[in-house]
Structure 1
Amino acid sequence: MAMNLALDLGPLKPETQPFIVGLVLFALTFVLLAKGILPRINKVLVEREAATDGRFEEADEIRAEAARIHAEYQELLAEARHEAARLRQEAVEQGTEIIAELRAEGLRQREEIISAGHAVIDAERAVAEAELREQVGALATQLAGRIVGEPVEDFARESGVVDRFLEEMRAAEPRG
């Protein structure tokens, strides 16, 4: 019975000739893979890993450089903002000074114009008073001559009656 069992094993007990051919082919395939193809695959994998590691290191360096440049940019931007704020402040101060100077100059010119206007008005008033005094004096003497019926112009000029009358009127005027 034990023998019958050995014969019935089938694929577990292979025939020797196909087994040896299979074993030789397996060994040949194994050697071919181990000596020829697997070293090339390992070489490619190592190169790929080295290239990838180099890229990661390069990317890290680039990332660090970008962070440094960004920090410099932020610093320059902060300095530019500070400078712009300082320039704006200076411009406001200069503008305020210029406005104050222009306002003072305008007030000075206004006072000059007003003073000149008062001087012109005073001069014109003096001229008008002098002309009116002559005209009033002439009209008064003519009127007096008509009332009296005789010419009184010579008498009025000699005695200064009209001038005294106008001086009294001027003294009686309210000052303002």
Structure 2
Amino acid sequence: MAASTTLLAAEDVNPLLPATYDITWSIVCVAVIGFFFWKWVLPRFQKVLADRTEKIEGGIRQAEEAQAEAKAALEQYRAQLAEARQEAAKIREEARLQGQQIIDEMRVQAQEESDRIVAAGQQQLNAQRQQIVAELRGDLGRTAVDLAEKVIGEQLSDDVRRAGTVDRFLAELDNVGAETSVR
């Protein structure tokens, strides 16, 4: 019968519920472990999370600062580029003006050289004209004397007479030439 009372007592105990002493010691263990986590583990975990958050936020701030610096450097680069373009345009304009000035100077020099050549040609032409006129006068004088000798029938060998006759004849020729050119 003793075996049957043990069975009955075992039947009053729920097999799914642990014994009271197990529950008590489990609660004490959970409380000790919870206190340990609450006192030491949680603050360290929060500190690590705060450090990571601070590092991330610091990295974001640094990235924003670097982006702002990059933007400022880009603006400075653009300003320098614009300035360089203006300077290049200015240099091109100066070169164009200098080229135009050189062309103008070359034109002036060419015109001066042309004028000099024309003047030299004119002088040479005048000299040749005077030489030809002198030769023609001499030939014309001799021809006039020969003709006068034939007309007069005497020889005009006297140089003084010959020179006077030639000069009179040439003066008359010049007067006749002047009258025809005036008309």
* TM-score (norm: length of structure 2): 0.63
Match of 1:96 among 93, 96, 100: 100
1:52 deviates by 1.3
Assess, with a 3 A threshold, how the Cα gap between structure 1 residues 36 and 99 changes in structure 2: closer, same or farther.
same
* Regions of 4+ moved over 4 Å: 3-8, 132-138
Q: Which amino acid aligns with 1:15?
A: A
Paired position in structure 2 for 1:49: 53
Larger Rg: 2
Instruction: Determine helix, strand or coil for the equivalent of 1:160.
Output: helix
The answer to whether 1:37 aligns with 2:41 is yes
Q: 2:112 aligns with which of 105, 108, 111?
A: 108
Confirm or deny that 1:171 pairs with 2:171: no
Select 2:70's aligned residue among 66, 70, 75: 66
The correspondence for 2:89, drawn from 80, 85, 107, is 85
CA RMSD, aligned part only? 4.3
Structure 2: 5+ residue runs without aligned partners? 1-8
TM value normalised by structure 1: 0.64
- Deviation, structure 1 residue 89: 2.7
Q: Distance in 2 between matches of 1:6 and 1:110?
A: 142
- Higher RCO, 1 vs 2 (CA within 8 Å, ≥6 residues apart): 2
Aligned residues: 168
Question: What do the CA deviations read for 1:126-148 (whole angstroms, capped 9, x no partner)?
Answer: 2244345546766x58x97xx9x
Percent identity of equivalent pairs: 30
Partner SS state of residue 14, structure 1: coil
